[in-house]
Structure formats: structure tokens, C-alpha cells
Structure 1
Amino acid sequence: MGHFYSELNTTLSTVEYVSSSPETDEQLLTSLMRVDEGLKRTNLMLEVGSSFINTDISSQPFFFMHRIHHQVNEDGELDEHQWNELKKVKDGLEYMKNGLYSEETGQVDKNISIQEFNQIINEGARMGE
């Protein structure tokens, strides 16, 4: 769970960076690729967890895969649809991160059950649809 949480947190940070930092077209495209790759790595952690740790771990490929388009409009900016997608992804990732975080320990809650984990991931993915 720690590896998943780490990828989730890194991806969320990248989404937050893209959402708040004006960039040149080339920098923006690079950042979008980083977001897309981060989402793919985060999904991969779910798949690896399901294959090698517990087959009850569910993945959310529709949330994590092929959401971010690596293109900007003629002004070198994201269009409204892309901004909306980034916001949805950010909202879903924040929900997942907050749901997996333990205030008590200051890190990922290692005592969470697979059912609770799946519920948090599934709800975060629904928020990001």
C-alpha cells in the first residue's frame, strides 16, 4: 500500500503543479505527459497489488488510464475540457490520498482493510468521472 500511496501522492503533486503554474507550450506538454505517466504508474500499483498481494484489490483503469491528452490549443493553453479533466483527476486523487492517510501516524494507514481500501479508491474514481 505504501508504494501505491507514494505514486498517488506524486501524481497528485504533478496535477497540482500543472493546475497552478502557467507554463510555455513545451513545458505544459511535458507536464501533461508526467501527469499521464503518473496515473499509469498509480494504476500499475493497483494491478501489481491485485496480482501479487491480494486478488481482491480492485483497479480503476477508466479513472487512471488515457484521461490526459498531450496537446494544447493554438494559444498554447489547455482547453476547457482538459482543465475539467485535470480538476476531476485532482479531486479523485485528493479523496483517495485523504482516505488512505492516518492523522494518528502521519502517514498511510497500514491497518486499513482491503474492503476499506477498495471503497476509498472506488469512491475517488467515481468523484473523478
Structure 2
Amino acid sequence: MILDHDNGKPLYIQIAEWIETEILRRNLTTHDKVYSQYQLADMFTINPATAAKGLNRLADDEILYKKRGLGMFVSESAEEIILNRRKALRLQQLVDDLVIEARHVHVELDEIIEMIKVAHEKEMEGK
């Protein structure tokens, strides 16, 4: 992953989202040790404090848990927490934007649903 310094999203959020994606992809699973703030700082050429802020955000959200002196680890409920949050926030925002854009270009609900079905089928074929 390459951090985008120009997109307006804070780097610590990008780090946290990257780790979340690694969990969803199952590259990190329950009780796996995650990268330290110093490893992340080296990987992404950022300040260790920025990396720590991303890790702490995930710990605050109970996606990661701390073991004193050992580091941070993936919690048992991490995947569920991430999925629920992304559904509630990201997907809902995408749907809202889709509906607004569809109204602007005069696309009816049935057509939107058909477009989503086609896109879903393509995605499922690609797996």
C-alpha cells in the first residue's frame, strides 16, 4: 500500500484502514500480532507517532488489543466490528451518493437495481 498524502485523509486513518483491510483479507487473523508502530513507520516512511495513533485508534475500537510489553494483536471480534462499521458508514454513503447521482441523470430505481445485480455477478465471477 502507498499512503496518499494528497487526498485529505489523515495518514493515521489510512494506516488504520490498511490494517483493517489486512484483517478482512485474512492476512491478519484473530490473535495475530500486528506490526509495531516502528515497523509501520519504516514500511510507510512516516513518523512512529503517526503509526501509533493509527494503532491506538484500532485499539480504541476494540479491533486490536494490547499485551503489555508484547505489542498489539487482532481481537476475536475484529472482523465483525470492521464489517459492521464499513456497512454502516461506507456502504451507506456510497448508496446515498448513487441515489443522488441516479436522480440527477434520471435513472429509475429498477435500473439502479439491475446495474447493481450485474456488477455483483461480475464480481462473483471474478472470485
TM, length-normalised to structure 1: 0.33
Based on CA coordinates, which of the two structures has the bigger radius of gyration? 2
TM, length-normalised to structure 2: 0.33
Higher relative contact order (CA 8 A, sep 6+): 1
